[in-house]
Each structure stands twice: as structure tokens, then as C-alpha cells.
Chain A
Amino acid sequence: MTKEDVAKLRAEIETSLAQAKSIEDLNSIKVKYLGKKGFLTNFLKSLKELPLEERRELGSLLNQIKDELEEALKVKEREILLAEEDKITELDLSLSGREPELGALHPLTIVISEICSLFERLGFEIAEGPEVESDFYNFTALNIPEWHPARDMQATFYLENGALLRTHTSPIQVRTMLRKKPPLRIIAPGKVYRCDADVRHSPMFHQIEGLMVDEKVRFSDLKGILIYFAQNLFGKDTKVRFRPSYFPFTEPSLEMDISCVICNGRGCRVCSQTGWLEILGAGMVHPEVFRAVGYDPSRWQGFAFGLGVERIAMIKYGIDDIRLFFDNHLYFLSSFK
């Protein structure tokens, strides 16, 4: 090793430093010259082989280079970091970001989900049933014999093979009770079909059926459950009203109204000036239904209720034409993100 070697090394280092553009470049320089196998380190090690006079002269030159290099690395690092910061502020932060687009669930799915959750919290399990049904499950087992005028209340679609499209979700009660032993609590959403079409009626719509059977189920319990439901879905100040009604598969039967959400009970077009909106039918399960499924009516009692999902969605979201749910216009669907 000679003085010229050292001078060459210095020149090399200075060039590398000048060319360094990034932190990585600096790190490679560090490793190349100051690392365990770096040039400077090797030169310093090889000083041992030199005579004393040269050792001292070259040694001090090399150490000087080492110190200067370490200092220069620090300075250069700071320079580079500052330059990078400047680069960031060159960006225009007022530009929009690449927003991921969100879709949405259908409002009926949202309402069904909300209502089912309400009941799942109380220990109701979700049940399902076929949409194509038999006369037995849809009518006869529910105490609606073939010639009964109550069938006029539900215009039925018939299929070419004699089966029908279920007109309510109540058949699920029968199927579940035939499949399981009491006690039980189910909530059953699903599509139902009736031959009816206008602003408030669609030939296909959705209902949710609830059923609870146990040894000590009472009419007052039914009231309690329904009030819990109304207040959780529409707000805790919601007022409700119960009216006697008639269904062949419940006795006593009732219908529940909530105070009109549009006019707050004062009377308007939506509630036909009555101040009340009907939202569901319910009652204590009729003993004939228990007999049809093999439950002993003297031991078991139950209540059942059925509500129309579209109706509830229309009330909750202020929609006045049921057909909007099935037109599926994107602007309509987007309001439910």
C-alpha cells in the first residue's frame, strides 16, 4: 500500500458520496468502506505489514479519511432525508383519493336482518320452509279447511302439478312443529305469494313468522313480545294498539297498530285519517293446529305472529309504492348504503 493508493481511495470515496442519491446508496458505501470486509477496514488492518515510519504516516491519513467519511455520511443522510420530505409536500393533497365503491344490501334484506336479530337476542332460532307448498301445510293444518270462506282472504297461485305458492309463512310453523318437540321458539322469514297487484300490494312479497311454544305461554306474553318488537324497531316512544281480529289458526287473535309515523297519530292520508298503521297479526295458537301436529293442547300453549316486511320497510323508510322494491332502480338501492 502506498500514498497513491490512499489518495485513490479518497478520490473513490468522494465520488461515491457525490453520486449517492438514497439512504440505500449511503448504506452500501458504509458497508463497502467501513464494514467488516470494507476497503478502509482492510487498509487499516494491512498497516501492520508496513515499516513504522510509513505506518504512522499512512495510518493517520487513513484515520482522517475514516473520520471524514463517517461525518460525510451523516451529513449526506440528513440531506437525503430532507430532500425526501420536500418530495412529499410536492404532492397535491386536495386531489381525491381512490375511493373504493361500496355497494349495498337490498332494503328488504336489511329489514329482515334487523327483525331477525331482535328475536335471535331472545333465543328464537331462524327457521325456513319451501316456497312451493301443499294445500295441507298452507291451509288444512292451519285450520282452514277447503270450503272455508277464510280462503277468500288470500288469493292463491296454483301450479300445474296441483301444488301452490305459499300465501303466508305460517306453513313453517306446521313443518317445524312436526319436525321437533316443544318447547320451541322460531322466527321464520321468507317470500310469500298472492294474486294481488297495486300500489300497496305485490304478487310476491316477504313475511316473517314467529312462533313460541312452551308450557306456560300466555296472551299477556304475546303483548309483551310485540311491544318489545315495536319499540326496538321503531323507537322506544312508539305507541301501539291491539285490536281483536280473526285468523283460523289462532284464538284469541289480534292485530297490532303503531301510531302513524307520518302524522304522529293526528290523522293523514297515509293512515287513512285514523292515526294508526297496521303492522302485524298475531294470536294464541289454535288447539286444532296443535292437534294437527301432534302436540297435546292441554299441556302446551303458544303464540304466533306474522308481519309483512314490505309494509314495515315502507313505514320505516317512508316509501309509498311497493313496486319500488322490485323495480330495483339503482338510485333507490343506493340510498341504503
Chain B
Amino acid sequence: MKVPVSWLSEFIEVEEEAERLAEIFTLGGLEVEEVYDHYQTLGEIIAVKVLEVNKPSELKDLVVCTVHDGKDSFTVLTAAVDLVKPGQVLALARPGSKTFFWDKIEVKEVKGYKSWGMFLSPYEAGVSEEKDILLELPLDVKPGENVYKALNISEPILDVSITPNRGDCLSVFGLARELSLLTGWPLKELRFDESLKEGSQPKGSIEILDPEGCFRYVGRWFSGVKVAVSPFFIIKRLVFCGLRPINNIVDITNYVLLELGQPLHAFDWERVSGGRIIVRRAKERERLLFLDGVERELSSEDLVIADAEKALVLAGIMGGEESGVSDSTQEVFLESAWFNAKRVRLSGMRHRLTTESSYRFERKVDPEGVYLAMLRATELILHYANPEEVSTIVDVYLVRFTPPRIELKKKRLSAYLGFEIPEEKVKGILNKLGDLEVTSEIFILVPKSYRQDLSIPEDLIEEVARVYGYDKVPTTFPEGVLYCEQPLKTLEFTQKIRMLLAGFGFFEVITYSFIDPKLIEHLNFSPDDPRRDPIKLENPISVEMRVLRTTLVPGLLQTAHFNQAREVESLKLFEVGKVFFKAEELASERLNLALLLAGRKSLPSWYEEERSFDLYDIKGVVSA
């Protein structure tokens, strides 16, 4: 997950550089794969000095600018006819680079005039929302310099790898919370004004017919909304995280998803029939045209959000084309819900769909966060979409979420880890994870709702150890009861054979267990030889590797072929490996040995003539 450090800093007082933050997360269990400056990933975006501006008559709406980049002069065509003047220093994206919005820049030619790049507006450069002017730099900037470095603009991003058990870290706020746990730096708690909860009469009803699939559904209506371009800070942050901006309503749902980890969905309320939102199982073979333009057939195992007539959304995964928010939408219904992780995953696998939304539901979202996300979204919609009316919040909360009560015996903690952590430290760590009670013998913790990865005492042992620091765990050597087993006979035997063959001058090879069935055909086995009937792979990595080998010979032959094509003139090879045959359960595996001799037996020398291997060489080795 990509996290801009500047966004993270809104929720926690960051006291270190990006590289150090990466190390803290990595040593805490969330591996940071990369730390980079987003603006430096766009490519060659440099300052150029405008030397001349010409308007040839053949070019109707374009002018030809001659610019200098500190090394060479070249021409750039632009439609910003009234904005370019000699003497300016402008931002130019060179061929091979991209704009902030992923548009690739190439060399262009119009009527014989070449354009070696494109001038960028501040918007296209990702600097500000101004689209109608060109990005100009101060005149003292050297031509050829990177524009962002010249303007002192950088955006450090951490690419954090979140393990599947930490769904609570799939958001900026979640990572800030985790960072606070690891370092002790103060976290800015989420605070929302009470007035955000007020509103008018809800415009419809919400029913949950499948409580196993969804036990909490929060909804709110916004009327007279102005769908428009999002404010620039939202656009920037979506782009930093790899998402495309669409319009303010959709962007706000994505922004809250990235910020708080709660997926939201916005409906065009006028496209919802009967004023009813129903959370139910799909009817077997019910059809839905999805946002990606594909119509799919649903199963009764799928959870959908439907209106009085039909399914509108595959819950938690992707919305339908018809009920989505478009530029003409004026009435919005916003959903924030908790969907069953297992059901969402199975549906995703069934339809082969993975989205930012389904990814988070599969890894469990916070039942309490569902409501908070609605407040945050309200805040943003009020500011940036100017609704005329907002309803109160409808919170259908069927079964209150109760976290488990975990008991960890103090003795077990130290026996498990192998040393004593001072009790104050243990209490300090556990206190941050939920409600802690301590008796003389045990720690009792009821974890916070967002830590659904904590359910057994061993989970707490891991938390304590990793926050305290694995480096502080001492090193000991295990104690155990000595016992002795007979070594596997096959192992000793195969080792002996390997050593013997190596001593005879053979080289061991290891080839793939999957082969091309055509190669077996070439070996001309008799029609009822079981080796002719290999086990097929359902999802082979390639057509040439689609069955499990029944003989080691094709692999050796391919190896010989590979070597001979590279001028190796003498080969003595062997392989010890398994071959596979069909069986009632799983497969029948046999360990086989195969030898191959090819080419020259020996180089001509003073004691021997050159000669090729023959059948008797192999016979000799086999007898030995």
C-alpha cells in the first residue's frame, strides 16, 4: 500500500525522515518495499529557456518555440499561443516522461514541424489546480534542471507491504495508529463535530435480509449535490496512492477508503426504485451490469445491495453501472457497511474480481469504523459538494460486535518467550491494544474493535514481543530429550549412488517435474504403457509444461539438447528424481534414476584416440 508521508503526518507527529520510518515499520512487521519521491517517478520534467517563438502560416492553432535545456536547442509545439514569450523559463515534459495524470509524452510532428516534448500546466505537473496557464519557473533557474527540485517540491511515499492478518493497517490512519504503537509518538485521535450527526428526514429505508453477510449498514442521503471536480488536495492524494480522480463524490468515497480503511459506496438515489435499500442474497442467475461494463450472472451465495426491483451492487466488491454517481447526479445515497470477509472473498474469487474495496473487506474492517467513516465523508461532502440538504444517519446495527476476552497467563508469556519482560512494559503495550485487566497471575485483554487479528493468547504474546522488540529476545539453545531414529534407507542409498556417479565422471542435473506430453510421445512406448498416461495440470505455467513427468528421459534429452546447442561436446549426466503416475488418491510417486551419455567420450590425447560414447559405456556404468 502506498502511503504519502505528508498524509501520515496529519495523524501522528512524525519525528524522523522517510527512510527511518521505513525501518521502523519493517522491524515492526510491516515490510516497506520501497521509499521514493512520487514526483521523481514521472521522468524527465525539466526547466527550459524559451529562445524564440514562431508562428508559421501552415500551423493554424500552434506556435513553434525554440527552447534550450542547457545542452541543446530544440523545438516544441504548443497550443498555448498567447502564453509563451521568449525569455520565459517553462516546465517541459520530455519524450519518455509522463504527466502527473499518467499521460505519456512522445515526440510529435505536425506538418513537418517536430515537437520534442510538451509544456505542462501546473495541473498537469501535479503542482496546483491551475489548468489554463503554463507552469513558469523563476528566471534564475538553470535550464535542464529538474522542475520539482527547482521548485522544492517532493512527496516521499512509503510502499508498505501489509500482511493479510493486519486489515487494520490498510489505511493512512491505521498505519499512523500502528506507528504510534511502535514508537510511542502521539496519535491525533479522530474527532468529529456532533453537528455532523444532524439532518432531515431520511429519504428511504434500509433492510438487512442476510445478517450473516452484513451485520451493520450505515446510510445517509445528500440532496441537491453539485457533482464537480474534486479539490486539488484530494486529487493529489488519490494520484499518489495510484487511484484515478473521477468526480468529487466518487473521489471522496475513495479518499475516505484510503484514509480510514472503510470502503464506501455512493448511489444515484434517483436510479434506486421504490425508495428501498435491501441487503440480501442474489437470486440464482440474477444479472447485473457492473461499473466495468461487464454484465455478470450472480449466484445465491453472492451478497448484493438491491432496491425494490433488482440488484444494484455486488456488496463490498463493485457497483452497478446504472446506479453509480455521474455528472448529472443530484441526489446521493451514501453507504458505509460491514460485510462478511469470507463471503466477500468467495464472491470475489467466483467472479474473479478484486478491488480496493473487496481487498479491505476480505481482511476485515472495523465495525466501529463504519460509523466514523460516514462522519468523515459527511464532513468532506459538506465542504466540497455543497448539498442543499443532508439526512440524519440511519444505522442498522443488528448484532453488536463483541470482541473476544483473551486471557494470557503471566507464566506462559515468559515460558513461551524464554525470558521475562518487565511487567510495566507488558502492561504498557497491552493497554494500547484494548481494555486491560491485570490479576496476580494473568493479563486479561478485550482488544479494540479494529484489532480483529487478536483472538488467542499467542496473538498477545506476539504483540508484546514484536512491540518490545525481537532484538531484545535473548538467544538460547533448546533443551530436549535425546532420541534416535533409523535414517530413511532410500536417502542413504540415493546419496551413495549420487557420490558414485559423480566419481565416475557424471554431472547431476535437476530438471522440471512438468514436461510437454509430446516429448513422451516421441519415446514410442507401447500403447498400454502407463507412462503414456501422465497426470495433467489444470493451470500449467505454459503449454510446454502441462503434464507431470512419468519418465526422467525427456528432461535429460532436453538438457543434452540445450548443452549441445551451446557447443558442449561431451556429456555424462544423471538425474535422481520423482516420476508421477495416476492413483486413487493424490498420485503415485516413484524415485527414479536416469543416465545420459552423449558426444565425445574423450579428447584426443597422447594415450588415447578420440572416440564417441557407445552403448557399452553406459552398460558398464549400470553394471558397476
List A residues at the B interface (Cβ < 8 Å). 95-96, 98, 100-106, 108-109, 113, 123, 125-126, 128, 130-134, 147-150, 152-153, 157-161, 163, 165, 183, 185, 191, 193, 195, 197, 203-204, 212, 214, 216-221, 223-225, 227-228, 241-246, 248, 251-254, 272, 284, 286-287, 301, 325-331, 333-334
Contact = CB atoms under 8 A, between A and B. Distances in A.
B56 interface: no
B476 A218 contact: yes
Given A106-B508, A333-B507, A246 B165 contact: yes
B418 A252 contact: no
B540 interface: yes
Contact of A223 (B459, B475, B512, B605): B475
Interface in B563-611: 563, 566, 568, 571-573, 578, 580, 582, 585-587, 589, 605-608
B418 A204 contact: no
Name the interface size band of chain B: 35 or more
A132 B586 contact: yes
B164 A329 contact: no
A221 B29 contact: no
Given A102-B505, A103-B508, A131-B580, 12 more contacts: A104-B502, A128-B491, A149-B362, A159-B536, A161-B535, A204-B513, A219-B418, A220-B417, A220-B476, A244-B470, A245-B163, A328-B511
B498 interface: yes
Contacts of B477: 221, 224-225, 228
A158 B548 CA distance: 11
Contacts of A286: 458
A329 B31 contact: no
Contact of B28 (A132, A191, A244, A252): A244
Interface string B554-565: 000001001100
A326 B512 contact: yes
Contacts of B562: 327-329
Interface in B23-71: 26-29, 31, 34
Contacts of B539: 157-158, 195
13 contacts: A106-B507, A125-B487, A161-B582, A165-B513, A183-B481, A217-B480, A220-B418, A220-B473, A220-B474, A220-B476, A221-B476, A243-B27, A330-B563
Nearest to A247: B163
Contacts, number: 239
B81 interface: no
Indicate the member of A106, A195, A217 with the most B CB atoms within 10 Å.
A106
A204 B502 contact: no
Given A149-B164, A252-B461, A130 B508 contact: no
A70 B246 CA distance: 120
A204 B461 CA distance: 35
Interface in B453-478: 456, 458-459, 461-462, 465-466, 470-471, 473-478
A100 to B, nearest CB: 7
Given A106-B510, A224-B478, A252-B461, A242 B418 contact: no
Indicate the member of A109, A218, A286, A301 with the most B CB atoms within 10 Å.
A218
A159 B505 contact: no
Nearest to A123: B482
B476 A243 contact: no
A154 B413 CA distance: 32
Contacts of A204: 512-514
Contacts of B482: 123
B480 to A, nearest CB: 4
Interface string B334-356: 00000001100110010000000
B297 to A, nearest CB: 21
A216 B479 contact: yes
A187 to B, nearest CB: 11
Nearest to B464: A252
B504 interface: yes
Nearest to A133: B586
B485 interface: yes
A143 to B, nearest CB: 11
A208 to B, nearest CB: 14
A274 to B, nearest CB: 8
Indicate the member of A128, A147, A185 with the most B CB atoms within 10 Å.
A147
A331 B491 CA distance: 28
B419 interface: yes
B502 A159 contact: no
Contacts of B506: 103
Contacts of B462: 244, 251-253
